[in-house]
Each structure stands twice: as C-alpha cells, then as structure tokens.
Structure 1
Amino acid sequence: MKVDGISIISTACVLPETLSTAADAVTEGQLDVRDLPICSARAVTVTTEPSWELGLRACEETLKDAALDPAELNLFAYTEVHFSELSPWSSPHHIARRLGADHAVALGITQMSNGGAAAIQHCVTGLATEQRTRYALAASASDFTGLPFPRWASAPAMAYGDGAAAALLGRGTGAFRVAALVTAGNPRLEETFPPDHPFRLTTNRRTPAIGFADNAFAVRKTIATVVREALADAGLAEDDPRILAVYPPRLGTLVTRQSVTPALPEPLRAHVRLLGDDTGHLGAGDMLANLVDAESNPTLPTGAIALLITTGIGFTATCLVVEKTV
C-alpha cells in the first residue's frame, strides 16, 4: 500500500524496571550455560503491572509528546498479549475511557506478534479512507508473567519480555512520513508453525525457535514479499542511499540470521539493526518499540529512510517504510 499525506506524529515505549537476566535463567535451570553466547537477549523486562496499565501509560506518553488532547482522537487500535483473567473485558475501550478519548472508535486486534503492525495498518487505512478521522492511535502491550512455562523456555532462539508501546498517526507533518505499508500472510503454516500451541504447557521443557527453523523457507519467502512490495510502493530502489536502517522483530540473532536477513535484498543486509538485547521479544510490540528507537536515534538524520519488519506466527509479516522528518 502506497501511503501519501500520513505521518507518525509521536511515539513512546514503556518498559518495566525489573529484569530477568540470562544468567538468572541459567541459575534457575531454564537455560543451558552453553547457550549463553548465542542467547537472543542478555535480559528481558518483567512487569508487575497488568498489560493494560502498561498500554495506558504508553498511550499517555505518546499523546503528551504530541501535545494532543485525547478527546481529539478519532481511532484507537490496540493489541495485547496477556494471560490474566483480571484484565478488563475490553481493554481497548477501558484504555480509551481512562485516556479521555471520549469520541474514539476503539477496537482490539489479534494477529499474534504482528498485532502492532496490524494496529498501525488499521490506523493508516482509517486516515486514508475516512476524512473525519484526523488522529489515530496504535498501541500494544505484553505481559508474559502468566505463561504456563518459563519465559526463557524458547531461548537461546527467543525470550519473552513485557512492555508497551504506542504511535500517534495523523495528517500533515510528524516524526516520520509514512511511505508504504505492506502485509502478507501464509495461513498454511498455522498447523505447523509453531509446532505446539505457543502458550500451552507441553511435555518439552524447551521449544526451540517455536517453528522458525522448520518453516524457514516459507518465512523468508513471505518476508521477502513484503519488503519487495513495500519498496516498490514507496518508489525506492533496494540500493537507495537514503535507506539507513532495517529493523527486524526482536527475535534474537539466530532467528534474524536464519529468517530475516536472507530475505532482504543484498544492499539492505548491512543496515539491519537488531534490538531487544535488554528487552527480549515484546510480543505484538516490536515494531512500535522499534519506531521509538528510530525516532530518537541520532544516527538516523532527517531524510533517512527506515524499514521496519515484523512477523507473527500463524503466519503473517509486515514491512513499514518511513522517512524521518525531524
């Protein structure tokens, strides 16, 4: 989807202060000491708050940075991963009410770890097709404390971290100009990827890479499709010198090297910026959290272009192309 006249105005990420380190995981028997050098994260963030509270804080910070009255919000797209029965019956509406977004259309999105990208896409579509929509907020939150297995159980390939992130979108200028956004799916992988229910206790203590290795070819093919089409929609050549960053999901070095980097055109592989060493995989929030880094990173000057890629088991992939305008 080629995008014109829509910007990401502001972004924010809220991370808990508590950390669970890989060294702790070794001591607790969750991680083999031999896996430490290749572990996907040095530490992961652990919340003591419900996911919706993290999400609310991320939304509040995003609107504060933009100096926008919450009552001006027209659309609120929210996605979360949690395992608590104590959450509100409809977190999007609860957060919208607590924000003071009194007239926003609130909805929840479920697309596994691609949920944050889906929330952004819904906001972009709403702004592009409904003239009454002036401001849209995309947000995500994750709380893996209720998992029926240790959050390091998929390490060294992956480790789960808690946190929330949000992005405010609108017309006109902002932190980024949205150039293109493409999503592709491959539901044929649903029964094999992951090989077990991703959040159900199994007889295996560890579930390496939760299906990335067995489905690497199909995953790479889907990612290659969204990258190729997003570049075309944005009118960019793969070797355009303005492209300075490619943000993959926060899935660690092993998964990135196996599933993401080979799917990229050769000129883009040197620009991969893998984050998550101190957070782990933030569920549906990787793309939104990576936008925060792209906004604040001084190595990305005004005019720089960044590609943000995310994936969700099942399987879905998205590529967002943005130009930094601040």
Structure 2
Amino acid sequence: MKPVEPVSIAAAALWLPKGRAKLTEAVADGRLRARQAKELGHPEVPSAEVEPAPGMAVSAARETLRKAGIEAKALDLCVHAWMYYQGHDLWSPAHYVAQELGAHHAMPVGIQQVCNGGAAGVELTVARMTANAAHSTDGYRWGMVTTGDRFTNPGFDRWTSDYGVVYGDAGTAVLLRAPAAPEDALRLRSIVTMAASELESMHRGADPFAAAARTHRPRVDMRATKRAYLHEHGHDQFIRANENAIRTIVDEALRDAGMGPRDPRLRYAVLPRFGLKTLQEFWLPILADTVDAEPLDYGRSTGHLGAGDAAAGLAELIHSRALRPGEAALVFSAGAGFTWSCLVVQAPD
C-alpha cells in the first residue's frame, strides 16, 4: 500500500522494563538445553516484574508524544495491538490506553493479529487517516499505534512456549501524521502485508475447540500445536510459504515506494526479533538474494516483543540515527496466522 498522501512517523518509542530474564538461568533450571540456548542467541530479555502489558504501552505512548511535542488531545485514532493476555478477561485495552493518555477525542481500536499486530495497526491507521480528508485544528491528522505484551507465568514460559523464539516484555508506540511535515523523523513510503491462512493450524494443532483459555494445558504451548501440524503436513508447506511471502512483500513494498531492490538509497533491512537460528535459516538467505540492504538485528538483547517488533524497529532506527538524509530501510514483522509485513521508511532529505 502506497499512502495516497504523504504520511510520516513523527516519533516512536520502545519502553522496556528494568527486570531481566537470563538465558543462563533457563539453562540451569533445565528448561533449555545448551544447544537450544546457542540457537536462540539471546543472553537476556526484558522481564516485567509488576508492569501490566497495556501500562507499558501507555509509557511508550507518553514518551512518543513528548518527543513529538504533541498533546494527546490532538490524536484522532488510538490503535492498540497485542499478542498475549492484557490483564483482564473481557475488556478493551485500547480504550484503557486512550483513557490513560487523555486522548479523549480519539477513536480507540484493538487489533489482535498476534505477532504481526503492530504492523497491521500501522497499515490500518494509515488507511483510515488518509481516507478522511478532514483536518484537525492544527491542520494534521494524528494516529497513535501502541503495543504491549508481558509473557509471564503461570500461563506462559517465555523460553519454552515456542520453537526458535524467546519472548521479551515491552511497550511500543508509533505516532503517525498526515500529511507529513518536514520535521518528522521518518517518511512512511509504503507498507505491504501478505497472509497464508493455510498455516493457521500451526497454532491450533489437533486440539478441539475449548470453552475457556488454557483448558487443554496449564501453559500456552505453541510447540505442541506445531508438532501436530508438522506431523500432518511436514515442513515444506511452511518453508515455501515463508520464502514466497518475504520475497513478495519486499518486491511490492519497494515498488510502491518507487524503489528497486538494488536502489542505492536502500541501506538497512530491520529483521523481526526471532532467535538466531530462525533468522539464519528462514530470513537472511532470502533477503541476501533479494535486496542490497544490510541486515539489522536489534533483537539480541530484547527477544521477540509479541506484537511490537516492527514498532520497536522503527523506534531504534530513529533513536540511533541509523539513516542518513535520503536513506531508506525495510522494517519487517511476521506472526502466526501466518502474516508478514514490510514497511519502507525513509529519512527526510
């Protein structure tokens, strides 16, 4: 999708709790073998001791507003995405985020597209913002996209609930402006998403539908559902779908951005925050064959942030000033379903 008018990322933030869950402790406890620990490649990940998941999203959003010099009352849309439990059984965390920010004029919307939720939130926010030609009092339309996830016991083991991924706790926020302004941090040139719904059973497995959460097992166990899927379908279907999706979203996102795979402006490819072996087997070879862009792996010290990988990547691109004027980057996100997204962002000239 190419925005029908210039859209910018005015600011973005990654908020991490102070606690840390250490890989050595998981190995010492017998939850991981040494070989598995090496394949993951995360020495430690952020661990929220008391911070609720949507509370971390609020902290990230407040920081984002402060960086942009914008008051929450200017927001037209407040989108919140998440992967795991938000702290209450039947409740809208999106409305909580808007209330805590003081975004009383914004429409709160919740998105649960699992790990790709943050990228989906950006895409849907841009679509709504650019479809509405009316401007707010300051001449712009503003959209806030937040994510917040906390992966904790008793229902989730961040080290062993999945294959090839360690889950870290964090809040993220991205502030979008339409039309774009020259002082904004990044210009959003395009965003493309692709789905392969034939893979949905990788997270359903052979389990019957249940009447309540964690009926089948005391903890979330994506390993069990993936084993069931692989027993029935094997590995090839996922491998083909993953490669096709990555190539497709890169090609379409660059085309919509008016760039090619060897464009000299294209400097970085910001990877999803998966384990080292997963990136080396399923992402890096495909990207090396597809684009001339240096891979950026910001996830070694954070792990996978649930719905927040893409937003966190944007925040770290901005914070590190990684892009020189005119340079561009691909920012990736992927998650269960399966769904893949690629954003093309460019630093202002």
Alignment-derived partner of residue 163 in structure 1: 170
Q: Deviations for 1:232-269, whole angstroms, at most 9, x for unmatched residues?
A: 11111101111111012101221112222233362636
Unaligned runs of 5+ in 1: none
Q: Structure 1's 192 and 73: CA in aligned 2 closer, same or farther, altered over 3 A? A: same
The partner residue of 2:253 within 221, 226, 230 is 230
Q: Indicate how the Cα distance of structure 1 residues 261 and 80 shifts in structure 2: closer, same or farther if over 3 A, else same.
A: same
CA deviation after TM superposition for structure 1 residue 87, in Å: 6.8
Q: Which residue in the other structure is 2:130 paired with?
A: 128
Name the residue aligned to 2:43: 42
Aligned residue number for residue 241 of structure 1: 264
- Deviation for aligned residue 1:193: 5.0
- Normalising by structure 1, we get a TM-score of 0.91
Instruction: Look up the SS of the partner of 1:122 in the other structure.
Output: helix
Q: Counterpart amino acid of 2:2?
A: K
Q: CA shift at 1:41, angstroms? A: 1.2
Q: Which residue of 1 aligns with 2:115?
A: 113
What SS is found at the alignment partner of 1:272? Answer: strand
Aligned to 2:2: 2
SS at the partner of 1:151? Answer: coil
- Contact 1:40/1:251, CA 8 A, preserved across alignment: no
- Separation in 2, partners of 1:278, 1:46: 11
Return the match for 1:317 from 329, 340, 343: 340
Deviations 1:100-154 (A, max 9, x none): 1111011000101000001101111112111236100111011111463421005
Could you tell me which residue of structure 1 aligns to residue 13 of structure 2? 12
Normalized against structure 2, the TM-score is what?
A: 0.86
Q: Does 1:138 align with 2:145?
A: yes
2:192 to 182, 193, 199: 182
Asked if structure 2 preserves the Cα contact closer than 8 Å seen for 1:220 and 1:262, the reply is no
**How big is the shift at 1:35?**
2.9
* Distance 1:269-1:189 versus aligned 2 partners, 3 A rule: farther
CA separation in 1, counterparts of 2:270 and 2:240? 20
Cα distance in 2 for residues equivalent to 1:203 and 1:60: 33
The change in CA–CA distance for 1:251 and 1:106 in structure 2 (over 3 A counts) is same
Separation (CA, whole Å) in 2 of partners of 1:234 and 1:5: 11
Q: Which amino acid aligns with 2:40?
A: C
**Identity of matched residues, %:** 31
Counterpart of 2:22 in structure 1: which amino acid?
T
Aligned to 2:300: 277
Preserved contact between residue 84 and residue 146 of structure 1 (Cα < 8 Å): no
What's the counterpart of residue 27 of structure 2? Answer: 26
- The letter of the residue matching 2:53 is S
Question: How far did 1:205 drift?
Answer: 8.2
Change (3 A) 1:54 1:203: closer
Match of 1:296 among 319, 326, 332: 319
Structure 2 unaligned regions, length at least 5: 136-140, 208-212
Residue in structure 2 matched with residue 101 of structure 1 by the alignment:
103
Q: CA deviation at 1:88?
A: 7.6
AA in 2 matched with 1:157: G
Report the Cα offset of residue 85 of structure 1: 4.5
Q: How many residues align?
A: 326
- Distance change (3 Å), C-alpha of 1:286 and 1:203: closer
CA contact (8 A) 1:38 1:254 kept: yes
TM-fit CA distance, 1:167: 0.6
Residue equivalent to 2:279? 256
Q: CA deviation at 1:37?
A: 2.7
1:271-311 deviation line (CA, Å, top 9, x unaligned): 11112111110000000000011112244212110001111
Flag the structure with larger Rg: 2
Question: Contact conserved, 2:22 with 2:44, CA < 8 A, in 1?
Answer: yes
RMSD: 2.7
Give 1:20's aligned amino acid. Answer: A
